[in-house]
Structure 1
Amino acid sequence: MSYEFSSEGDRLNLPNPFRVENWFRFSAAALLFVGGLAALLLSRHNLSTHRGLWAFLPLALGVFLLGSGINYARMGMMQLRFYFGRGQPLGLAAEILASNQDGTTKEAEDLQHRMRSGALWFREPQGALNGLLYSLIPALIYAPEPIRQLTQSQFQSGLAVLATLLSFLVAAVGFDNTSDCVWVAFLFFGFTCFLLLRPMDGSARQAASLSPAGLIGLLLVAVFAPILVPLISRRLPDLSWFPLITQTFALMVCAGIAVLLFFVALVQQTVIPPKTSMGTELATVSINGQPKQLLDELERQMQHRWVEQIPNRRYVRHTPRVEGQSGQFTGQLFEETQPLPREDMRRINFKSAFSEPRYRWLVSLNAYGVVLVAVSVFCLLWFAVEFSSSIGERQTATLGWATFGIAMLAVGAYCLKVGHKLWARFDFLSKLVWVQFDGNFQRSRMNLGAQFSDRVRTESDVIAVNDMSVRVWVAEIDSVTFDRDHRRMIVGMRGLPDEAREIRQLIEQCAQQQTFVVAPTSQRDIEKIALAGALNHLGDKDTSHLLPEQTKAMLRGQKTQPSPIHKPTRSYCAGCGDALASDARFCDSCGRAVN
């Protein structure tokens, strides 16, 4: 998108909201980058000492760590600059761009219904687990819809991780064969990674959920796994040498802590029950003239109220139509002022993020993710060193460091990725103004001036509107969005009765000042009318003085002499008698000086 600059004001120039998140992203990128370089150096040493094919394992590990670090750095660099243009954030409904265009949309009608009723609507939670969640956190129902979806999904994901951990513990106790226990651990290890990585697809609705059927399935696995796995594992390779049981348990515990931190950070994004109200005004107005003049005056006044000289978002416009001798008409105008960010959005930095309740747990989640990434890099490097310098059974023992490092890297990636949605939240303040008027009209002709006695008369067609209903709604709204290109959602609404009263009085004053008498306004028209009136009353002492002197002389029959034309006099030379120019100082013929 293009960058637009205006020196009128800087209220739209927000600090980068991803500034704090970038610190954690670049920290994780640095850790992974250093670990990747160390793994590459180790691989070069192994290749130079002819360690065989095992020397390529640190090489592959180094490439993986470098790729992960570059990816974190890439995402951070994409967020180094953030800009909200004048066309952003998006409106609450589809906008009418042309100034003289009429139209409305379904979204705008829903907004008008909210303003008319003076209330906000919130979707009821569905499902047994959501019913439990909303009973534990009643204020969650007032949160924005994306926050509600994330909270619901993470609540179910947390229950799924907890149920998976309990199921794994129950299943692991019932095994006597180590190989069978490792196969079960491998199954739960993969399922836990799936729970963590699936929400990273970018859609909160795709997050893993725990349904009653899923809970029953986990219980069945916990109870019958000790019986079914031995029957199947006879045909599978022996994995008793693979260290995975402790790592699976550590993965589930760390994943549970991460989900808990994110869930608490989500709860901090909820709001208290909003106090909704509406500023309304109702008036009865009569006007002799075109009702559209009221709409024109209203549009001019709305332009005077532009914020930072930015045009309002126009959602509904309906020009009153008066056709025929009589009938009904209706007109309305529905606009929103330019949304401005809340003042607390301007104070987000690394220091204040730890003190603000809304960001404190989110920072803790990101810090926890960076710590796990550091642990993962250490474990993977330690595995590479030990694996390259060991042979036989010692090499299989070092695989535990690799599996533990992979587990911590998955949880760390979850922490850094899932919190991005909350960093991208933006809260705005704006005003909604809706004016509607409707009534009946009657056309008539009006003559002003006596037909025989008055010299100046006027006639005009008059549209008489009696007892027109004027309704005004004005409210200040709190809206939120989670991306520059996403539509905003209303989370709070407060009525502004003073501004509604001001607009109502403006319309009443405009109606009272309308005129239907046609009169000359030019100065030359006034002079001509005065002269015509004086000629009509010729002979009256009271009006004869209005005539110019030249006109009076013409009316008395006197001939006026034209102004004399002054002709230049000719001079001649005293010596030779030739004509001289008017400004000559010497004669052109004889050269004699002119006196």
Structure 2
Amino acid sequence: MTYEFHAGDSIANDVPNPFKVENLFLALSSIALVAGAISVLLAARAYFQSNEVKLAGVTVMLAVVLFGAATKFLIQALSHIRFYMGIKQPRGLAQELKPTTFGLGNGARGLISTLRDGAIEFPEPKGALNGLLYTLIKPLITSPPPIQVAAVQHFHSLVAMSAILISMIVSYVCVAGSSYEGVVSWFYLPMTGLSILTPFLKQDVEDVSASKVGDSNKMVVTLFGLVVFSVIGPVAIPHYMPAYPIPPMWIAPTLMLVASMVASAMFLASLFSQLDNVEQTSVSCEQTTISMNCHPAQLWTKVSRDFQSQWVRNTPNRAYANVPPGATESDRGSFQGYILEETQPTPFNNMAIGSLSEAFGARHVRWLTALNVWGLLVSVASALTAAAYAPQLGSMAKMDITRAVLVTVALTAAAALAFRISHLLWSRMYFKSRLVCIVVDGTFQDAELSIGNQFTGSVQSRSTLTRVEDATLRVWVTDIVSVAFGKEAKRFIMAMAPADSVAKSTTDGLKEFALSQSSVTVPTNHRDIERAKAVVALDKAISGADASALDAFAIKQSISMQRG
């Protein structure tokens, strides 16, 4: 990965860091976890000194868990401590073409369709739970796909976690104190860990599509399955399984559920407080006819000059499509050409929060900051739990030691979850730019043009030209607002505003350029003109058959060549 610095681009060079608040909480959490890990290592040292190797191994494992989370938080904070925005950032709306490349970039057809239709495409939700969510939060339907995917995912998980928690409570009431309590409680540990944390820790904002918003009908089936298990399980298990004498394991799954539910609820509250509302999707379109006596690709020279004169902050445009109109080798036929470019995106209205007081004062990031506070509190709780349990492992039974380890792991995973899901909203960035699409199509035919008296004239001009008559020229222009979740992440169009004056001036300029193309070939170099005059004078001298005139002409030409 490279970074291209443009000294004259003060806007991109001075973009405020949107991760300041997040970095602060990540650093504090890392410090708390490191302190807890060191305390656990001191306990491990004592176990080694007393030859309790197995207990020392368990405490070292606890320290590794804490150190691992602390390292992850610290790497993330230090990686975002300085924020750069190069001239190639953010990413293009489609695959960008190099200056000398012709063709169509991947995704350019979709952009051209967006301009032609004047509409922005969003994924359509399906399923019962999604229908409920989008009914409660109506603006969600026009939110960026990563936001929709995250909202659906967390809403589904919050519903599932609530169902699991209720199921746990019912099961606990039914089997509490019985010989099967331990067996039933251990069923919920993998259920909470695999079904709740794994989807979040693997989520990828790049992989967003309509299929990711998804069908929520499977979640309804899962909910009914949890209801059936909580009611039937406590009475059915004694008939199919023996009563194993294992201690109950309610604390670890309960802590994981509660911590994850709080994180998901805060994430949804933060997300719903800053939803994007698409208010305008207008595109300026100008259509006219042009006629010219030149190759249709000659228009591209004018287009290239116009695009360069409109560069934003002296930065080249992003080219997504460049197909010059090409005439075939035959003397007549049809042609089509199109070009699509975007001006350099300008960042604006980003998550630039400089202090904690500002973070809690801004309504749109208040819940997001609270989510980071929750991650810090859970990190501290994880460190304190590990530090408290580590010296007492020698007096605990094996299953109690397992419970202590799982509780620490659950709290650490919940802290990682809180910071993982909040990063998506901290990385939200908005950009302004202009999209211009020019399409020309029509028919051509070759012709010859001769100028001058064919019988008595001494000067004649003959040209072979390509004649274009009434070709269709279309120009689409729109000022867009796009959003990305990270400077290297995919961008999504969120608003389109018309630019009528730009579309009209571009069309008029191309039409005037086409009409101004010359179809007569004449010498333009001053030497050619001088030599043409000499030829005319020679012709007159020869026609007069005057020897003295020929001698005078020769002397004049000799003097002229010596001066030249």
TM-score range, shorter chain: 0.7 to 0.9
Secondary structure (helix, strand or coil) at the match of 1:64 reads helix
Match of 1:475 in 2: 478
Aligned with 1:464 (options 456, 467, 472): 467
1:370 has 2:383 as partner? no
User: Would you say the 8 A contact 1:153–1:207 is kept in 2?
Assistant: no
Q: Residues 105 and 39 (structure 1 numbering): CA distance in 2 closer, same or farther, change over 3 Å? A: closer
Q: Residues 234 and 396 (structure 1 numbering): CA distance in 2 closer, same or farther, change over 3 Å? A: closer
Q: State the Cα distance separating 1:123 from its structure 2 match.
A: 2.1
Match of 1:515 in 2: 518
Aligned with 2:284 (options 273, 276, 279): 279
Q: State the Cα distance separating 1:274 from its structure 2 match.
A: 3.2
Secondary structure (helix, strand or coil) at the match of 2:124 reads coil
Aligned with 1:411 (options 411, 414, 420): 414
Q: State the Cα distance separating 1:373 from its structure 2 match.
A: 1.2
Match of 2:366 in 1: 360
- Counterpart CA distance in 1 for 2:215 and 2:381 is 26
- Counterpart CA distance in 1 for 2:213 and 2:134 is 20
Q: Structure 1: which 5+ runs fail to align? A: 540-550, 563-595
1:69 has 2:70 as partner? yes
Q: State the Cα distance separating 1:447 from its structure 2 match.
A: 2.1
* Match runs of 1:416-435 below 5 Å: 416-435=419-438
Match of 2:230 in 1: 222
Match of 1:163 in 2: 163
Match of 2:533 in 1: 530
1:444 has 2:452 as partner? no
- Counterpart CA distance in 1 for 2:340 and 2:554 is 69
1:312 has 2:313 as partner? no
Matched positions, count: 541
Indicate the structure (1 or 2) with the bigger Cα radius of gyration: 1
What code does the residue aligned with 1:199 have?
A: P
1:326 has 2:332 as partner? yes
- Counterpart CA distance in 1 for 2:244 and 2:512 is 90
Secondary structure (helix, strand or coil) at the match of 1:345 reads coil
What code does the residue aligned with 1:311 have?
A: P
* Match runs of 1:39-58 below 5 Å: 39-45=40-46, 48=49, 54=55, 57-58=58-59
Secondary structure (helix, strand or coil) at the match of 2:275 reads coil
* Match runs of 1:201-220 below 5 Å: 201-203=201-203, 211-220=219-228
| Greater Cα offset, 511-520 or 529-538 | 529-538
User: Would you say the 8 A contact 2:130–2:215 is kept in 1?
Assistant: no
RMSD: 3.4
User: Would you say the 8 A contact 2:129–2:220 is kept in 1?
Assistant: no
What code does the residue aligned with 2:389 have?
A: F
Q: Residues 410 and 96 (structure 1 numbering): CA distance in 2 closer, same or farther, change over 3 Å? A: closer
User: Would you say the 8 A contact 2:182–2:245 is kept in 1?
Assistant: no
Secondary structure (helix, strand or coil) at the match of 1:347 reads coil
- Counterpart CA distance in 2 for 1:528 and 1:469 is 43
Match of 1:542 in 2: none
Q: Residues 51 and 465 (structure 1 numbering): CA distance in 2 closer, same or farther, change over 3 Å? A: closer
User: Would you say the 8 A contact 1:40–1:63 is kept in 2?
Assistant: no
Q: Deviations over 1:70-95 (max 9, x none)?
A: 33223333333444444443322233
Match of 1:237 in 2: 245
User: Would you say the 8 A contact 1:386–1:398 is kept in 2?
Assistant: no
- Counterpart CA distance in 1 for 2:213 and 2:71 is 27
Q: Residues 229 and 531 (structure 1 numbering): CA distance in 2 closer, same or farther, change over 3 Å? A: same
- Counterpart CA distance in 2 for 1:407 and 1:64 is 11
TM-score (norm 1): 0.81
User: Would you say the 8 A contact 1:157–1:208 is kept in 2?
Assistant: no
Match of 2:108 in 1: 108
Match of 2:342 in 1: 336
| Greater Cα offset, 90-99 or 210-219 | 90-99
Q: Residues 178 and 73 (structure 1 numbering): CA distance in 2 closer, same or farther, change over 3 Å? A: farther
Q: State the Cα distance separating 1:182 from its structure 2 match.
A: 3.8
Q: State the Cα distance separating 1:163 from its structure 2 match.
A: 0.7
Match of 1:258 in 2: 263
Q: State the Cα distance separating 1:453 from its structure 2 match.
A: 4.9
- Counterpart CA distance in 2 for 1:558 and 1:375 is 107
- Counterpart CA distance in 2 for 1:67 and 1:330 is 59
User: Would you say the 8 A contact 2:283–2:476 is kept in 1?
Assistant: yes
Q: State the Cα distance separating 1:359 from its structure 2 match.
A: 2.9
Q: State the Cα distance separating 1:144 from its structure 2 match.
A: 1.4
User: Would you say the 8 A contact 2:115–2:476 is kept in 1?
Assistant: yes
What code does the residue aligned with 2:78 have?
A: M
What code does the residue aligned with 1:33 have?
A: V
- Counterpart CA distance in 2 for 1:98 and 1:59 is 57
- Counterpart CA distance in 2 for 1:220 and 1:141 is 33
- Counterpart CA distance in 1 for 2:278 and 2:112 is 22
| Greater Cα offset, 400-409 or 194-203 | 400-409
Q: Residues 513 and 231 (structure 1 numbering): CA distance in 2 closer, same or farther, change over 3 Å? A: same
Secondary structure (helix, strand or coil) at the match of 1:446 reads strand
Secondary structure (helix, strand or coil) at the match of 2:10 reads coil
Match of 2:119 in 1: 119
User: Would you say the 8 A contact 1:199–1:208 is kept in 2?
Assistant: no
- Counterpart CA distance in 2 for 1:340 and 1:557 is 68
Q: State the Cα distance separating 1:392 from its structure 2 match.
A: 7.1
Secondary structure (helix, strand or coil) at the match of 1:161 reads helix
Secondary structure (helix, strand or coil) at the match of 2:103 reads coil
Q: Residues 523 and 72 (structure 1 numbering): CA distance in 2 closer, same or farther, change over 3 Å? A: same
% identity of equivalent residues? 31
- Counterpart CA distance in 2 for 1:160 and 1:488 is 31
Q: Residues 31 and 208 (structure 1 numbering): CA distance in 2 closer, same or farther, change over 3 Å? A: farther
User: Would you say the 8 A contact 1:193–1:410 is kept in 2?
Assistant: no
1:151 has 2:159 as partner? no
Match of 1:91 in 2: 92
Q: State the Cα distance separating 1:402 from its structure 2 match.
A: 6.0
Match of 1:6 in 2: 6
Secondary structure (helix, strand or coil) at the match of 2:521 reads coil
